[in-house]
Chain A
C-alpha cells in the first residue's frame, strides 16, 4: 500500500453562521462519499453535525462572529470517521447537560437538549475538550 487512508484527512474553516450549515454538510458528505459511507450512516452523521455546527453558530461567539473549523479524518480497521469541530468561542461543553426525559408525553415534552442527546445516540463516541483557547468536539462513527 502506497497511500494511507489517513491521507484523506481534510478540513474546512468557515464563518460559524447558521446559513453555512449547507456548505458544512456538503463538505462532510463529500468526504464520506469518498470512503463509500452507507447512506443511512451519512444521514446520522448529517444529523449530528447539524446539531453541533448550529450550536456553535448560535452560541460560540455571541454577540459577535467567528470561525469554525471542521476536520474529517478516516481511520482503518474498522473504517471509522472522526469529525472534529474547533472554535475559539466561549468555553462550552455541550455534553455536560443532563439528557432529556424522552418518556414524557407530548404535552410535557420540551425540545431543549434533544439535539445533543440524538448526537450521542447516533454516534459511537462524542468527546469534548477545551484546549489552548479552543472548544474541540469530536464525533466518532464506525462505518460498518
Chain B
C-alpha cells in the first residue's frame, strides 16, 4: 500500500515498523506512514487493530520490534519518552490525583526547570485557553469529566510540544460533550499549528476532526485518506463497512468494461457498479451503496439511474430524516435515508416501491 505524505516534508515517519509482544504474532505488520507538520491525523480502527500500539511506540512506551520511527527527521527508537518532547492526552485523562490543577499543569514546566513566574504565566495561559482559568486550585476529583478533559488537554499543550498524541481522549464523555470537545480540540490544534496524532474507534470523531484518517485493521493500515475520500471512496469492504452506514449486496462480477463492472446479484438482478478492487469476471464481490445515495422515488432520478423493486419493511421518522428499511434483492436490511421535506411521502410497511441510485455511487468491493 502506498502512503503519501500530505505536507511537503514528513514530520513523523513510521518506516517498515513491526511490533510483536509474544514473539509469535505481529500486532503491527509492516507499518509505513508519514505525517506532515501541522497535520491532524487520526488512527481509526476497532479494538485490537494495532492503532494504540502504534501510538505508544511513537510516545516511547513501547519499542518497535523492527523498523524505524523518525520524528522531525531524527530516529527516536532509542530515545526515552521524557526526551521526546511529545505531549500526550490519555484515555481517562491521567491527571495526577494528588496535585491541584495548577500543579498538574506546572509539572511538565517544573521538570524542564522553568522558573516560577514564567511557569505561572504559562499555566494560567494554558488554563485560559481551555476556559478553565478559575479552576487552578481544585483537585482533579472535584472536576467533571469534561473539565478534566480540558485540563488534560491543557497539560499536554502547556510545554508547547510540536507533536501531541491523543489516545481516545473523549471516550469517557457523553455524546453532546464529546461533540463540543471535538470541535474545540480541532480548533485549538489549528490555532497552535501543532501536529496531532489522534487514536479513536469512533468514526464520526475521526471524520469530524482529521485532515487524514488511517483506518487500521489486523495490524495494517487499510486505507489512509482524507475524511471525504474515505467516506465516498472506501477502498475495500472493511473500510466501507467501518466508515459510516453502508448497504451491501452480494454477487458475482459478470464483466468489467470501461470503468464499469457489471455485477449479477445473488437475487439475479444485474447492476452496473464502479470496480474498486475487483479485477476480473467471475469474482465474487460485495457491492456497497451509502443509504443517503439511494432514492426511494426513482422518478426523481435521471435516465442513467439504476432502479430496483423494493418492499418497505419499516419506516422510521427521525426528525430531519426518514429512515426506511427495505427488502431489496434478497436482503432484509437495506437502509435508505431520505431528507425530510414537505414533498416527501411517508411510506407504509408492505408497500412496494421503485428505488434507484446512480451507478457511480455503487462500488464493487472485495467479497
> A and B: partners?
no
Query: Which residues of A are interface residues toward B (Cβ below 8 A)?
Result: none
